Amino acid sequence: MLMQSHRLLATTLPFLLMAFLGAATESRADSTHGYTINSITHADAGGTSILIGTHCADDVTAIKVEVTSVKAVSLAEVRVSAYLYDADKNLLQTHDRPPTAPCGFIGHEQPVQIPIMYEAGKPRIFYFPTQGPRPLPWKSIVVVFGDDDKVIAQVYPAGDPRDFDFPERELLK
């Protein structure tokens, strides 16, 4: 009886070990394609100077979004979008790409450029204005980060991104 138990264990253990290692490898493989929204915070007017188009605007109300990619990827391959909604979840404003960057000048009024690559694991910060020519009555912002195959989304100040209608919603994993 003891001999049969050892044989069963000897034949079963390798399969269990392979299954366990396979599951660990799968989760690691998924994380190599991973994107993270580290934080979304409110940047009050008065403390933020933002590059909009080709000029700096002071006293702009915005949200500050910090994102990280697990792998090195070019900015052209990544989606970073923000959608502003009213209290009834009606879309008020769309930012298909980060239209803004913090103003920083080198020498004589040369704006600092947004990097063209995401370095693996290095956080990047983007600013999205939360006002138009006149104040917007926004209540929620959905921030989307990812690529053509997979995105993650987070709602600021709180909520479930699946409750909102935005183009990348079908890519949520």
Query: Which of 50-54, 57-61, 95-99, 100-104 holds the top average pLDDT?
Result: 95-99
- Segment 15-42 shows an average pLDDT of 53
3-state helix, strand, coil in the chain (%, to 5): 25, 40, 35
Tokens representing residue 16 in the block? 């269990």
Kindly report the pTM of this predicted structure: 0.69
Tell me the per-residue pLDDT of 108-136, one tens digit each, with 9 for 90 and over: 444 445 556 778 899 988 888 887 667 78
More confident residue, 79 or 84: 84
How far is Cα 94 from Cα 102, in angstroms, rounded to an integer?
Answer: 19
Taking residue 152's Cβ as centre, other Cβ atoms within 10 Å add up to 18
The pLDDT tens digits for 131-148 are: 766 778 999 999 999 988
Q: What is the mean pLDDT of the chain?
A: 73
Question: Residue 23's pLDDT is what?
Answer: 33
